[in-house]
């Protein structure tokens, strides 16, 4: 049985989010949540909350599911739309600043 949760337009660059996603991919849910609670990265609380949401989705979809059997099957981090801002520079010029966003998808599965 699979359960899915998606976080769209997370205000973190995909490259930085993939570093944290690689830590939890393939681990049990309890172990992943524990690792994320001690990881000092901006993406860690977002991903922890997303995994908890996927667990809640699994319980809501099928009340007989055993939460201890769930593991992080896949984690995708895709690029979202960039916020375009401008930074003033010398002699009346301006330089574009792209503030990147991410779409993070977590899929939980059961071990058999």
Query: 4-21 pLDDT, tens per residue?
Result: 999 999 999 999 999 999
How far is 101 from 112, CA to CA, in rounded Å? 36
Residue 54's nearest CA partner among 32, 39, 35 is: 32
Which residues on neighbouring strands pair with residue 6, listed in sequence order?
105
How is domain 3-110 classified at the architecture level of CATH?
Answer: Alpha-Beta Complex (3.90)
Mean pLDDT confidence for 89-97? 98
Q: What is the model's pLDDT at position 40?
A: 97
Whether the model clears a pTM of 0.75, i.e. scores above it, the answer is yes
Ranges of each domain in the chain: 3-110
3-state secondary structure of 67: helix
Q: For the segment 49-81, what is each residue's pLDDT rounded down to a tens digit?
A: 999 999 999 999 999 999 999 999 999 999 999
């Amino acid at each position: 049985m699979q359960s899915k949760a998606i976080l769209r337009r997370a205000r973190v660059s995909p490259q930085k989010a993939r570093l944290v996603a690689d830590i939890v991919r393939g681990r049990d849910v309890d172990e992943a949540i524990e690792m994320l609670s001690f990881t000092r990265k901006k993406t860690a609380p977002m991903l922890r909350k997303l995994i908890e949401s996927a667990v809640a989705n699994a319980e809501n979809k099928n009340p007989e599911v055993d939460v201890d059997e769930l593991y992080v099957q896949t984690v995708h981090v895709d690029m979202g739309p960039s916020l375009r801002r401008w930074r003033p520079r010398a002699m009346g010029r301006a330089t574009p600043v792209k503030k990147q966003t991410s779409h993070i998808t977590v899929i939980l599965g059961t071990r058999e």
